[in-house]
Structure 1
Amino acid sequence: MRLEVCVDGADGATAAVAGGADRIELCSALELGGLTPSAGLMARAALLPVPVHALIRPRSGNFRYSSAEVATMLADIRAARKAGLAGVVIGAALADGRLDADTLARLRDAADAMSLTLHRVFDLVPDFAEAVDTAVTLGFDRILTSGGAPTAPEGIDALAGICAAAAGRTGIMPGAGIDAGNVGALLEALAVDEVHGSCSVAVAPASSRVAPGFGGDARRETSADKVRALKAAMMRSQAARRER
């Protein structure tokens, strides 16, 4: 049972590893849902003792990308591969919400042998089963999803259907709103072997002064204690299943 923790900085990555994360999803600007990390952060994260997958998302907002944005994403994937990261987390959509298979194929080809995760663009598709088939055809190793709900616990019924549609052809990794208090029920209901969490806590600003144009003070930090608690709850659930 593997725990992937999403982080948006070097300190967060260190805390995630200290708490027992099995894999890191590396981002920037998690307050925007996560954007592509810098080349410097990718290079530093490559030194961690666990696999690191970089989110490739050039901007916030929707997942319909222009040709210039696709070119940027291709360059960012090449940078992640050059840095020595184990995988990338990608997604792209058409105007009707279906997966943009042509763009995803180009991104996949740029990733070469890197591990591929389809991000939560999946949660916006009109037909989960069709999107699972597309992801399988494209060769994705896993799909990160909340079942189309704000949180994975709220989307548990849809997640069960997505797992059934995947039928072992690609991994289904529940994510969003998962913590030590609810992961047991999630794992009881779903046949999955990976879980995604942020394991973050709100932190007080160091100063009330922020330069104009640089955003507000609200931010969150990865908590090694929360990572540790979530991983322990996952292990307890797995042990309980083995005993039955």
Structure 2
Amino acid sequence: MKKYHIEIACFNPESAVIAQKNGANRVELCDEMIEGGTTPSPEAVIATREELTIDMNVMIRPRGGNFVYSDAEFEQMKQEIKEYKKLKVDGFVFGILNNDNSINVERNKELVFLARPLPCTFHRAFDVVTDVYNSLETVIDCGFKTILTSGQEPNVVEGITVLEQLAKKAGNRIIIMPGGGVRSSNVTLLKEKMNTTYYHSSAITDGTEIADGKEIKALVTNLK
């Protein structure tokens, strides 16, 4: 029987603790919620790691905005992966595009190689790529283990058709993890349509940057 897992996007150690207490399987640690997530500080990574026994993936994204990075920003991303590997994280989350919104194969492969043996997730840069199904093959070729996507729509419910197709085309080669508006109220629909193993939510319900423990519990319950 397939097991289903919940990853909670956390913007502070407090949310990560709430996620763990309420049954989440993994945390994605980032900073700057208003920007859609950026690289957290080393201090936040250390503080969160000390509190968690569940897996913790870390966002590597030097700034908000687009996913086309300067040479200096790319160097920063490389250094952060090297540094954070020493802090006992469990994986990395990033994505680099070219000016035409195609996937920058060379740079993504370089970061995936640097991160080894830790797994990498291609984040929601995927939601602005050109040619979504060819891009799926490119991301697989780059060595990523997971794609975090809303199906190229503002949220997963609107993107459900693309998500369903991505999950079918991906098969067992890569995990398609829906994220962007995933809630306990729609996660059952996502599970029925996609039957994928991981689901991603911030579980923030009150406009703050703190995860809601009850919502996490409900997500976990609805995936059983």
Alignment of 1:29-178 (within 5 A): 29-47=32-50, 48-178=52-182
TM-score scaled by length of structure 2: 0.95
* Deviation beyond 3 Å, 4+ runs, structure 1: none
What count of residue pairs does the alignment treat as equivalent? 220
Instruction: Tell whether the 8 Å contact from 2:122 to 2:147 is kept in structure 1 after alignment.
Output: yes
Provide the rounded CA distance (Å) in 2 between the counterparts of 1:53 and 1:11: 16
CA-based RMSD: 1.0
Structure 2: gaps of 5 or more residues: none
Q: Which residue of 2 aligns with 1:223?
A: 212
CA contact (8 A) 1:80 1:88 kept: no
* SS of residue matched to 2:209: strand
Structure 2 SS opposite 1:60: coil
Taking only the aligned residue pairs, the percentage that are identical comes to 32
Do 2:11 and 2:209's aligned partners in 1 also have CA atoms closer than 8 Å? no
Give the TM-score normalised by structure 1.
0.88
Shift of 1:84: 0.6
Higher relative contact order (CA 8 A, sep 6+): 2
Cα distance between partner residues in 2 of 1:44 and 1:87: 17
Q: Distance in 2 between matches of 1:28 and 1:89?
A: 13
AA at the equivalent of 2:210: E
- For 1:20, the equivalent position in structure 2 comes to 23
Instruction: Tell me the CA shift for residue 78 of structure 1.
Output: 1.2
The separation in 2 between residues aligned to 1:46 and 1:113, in whole angstroms, is 18
The structure 1 residue matched to 2:199, chosen from 195, 198, 205, is 195
Q: Residues 201 and 220 from structure 1, CA distance in 2 versus in 1: closer, same or farther, beyond 3 angstroms?
A: farther
Q: Distance in 2 between matches of 1:228 and 1:2?
A: 12
Q: 2: distance between equivalents of 1:158 and 1:198?
A: 21
Give the 5 Å matches for 1:203-214: none
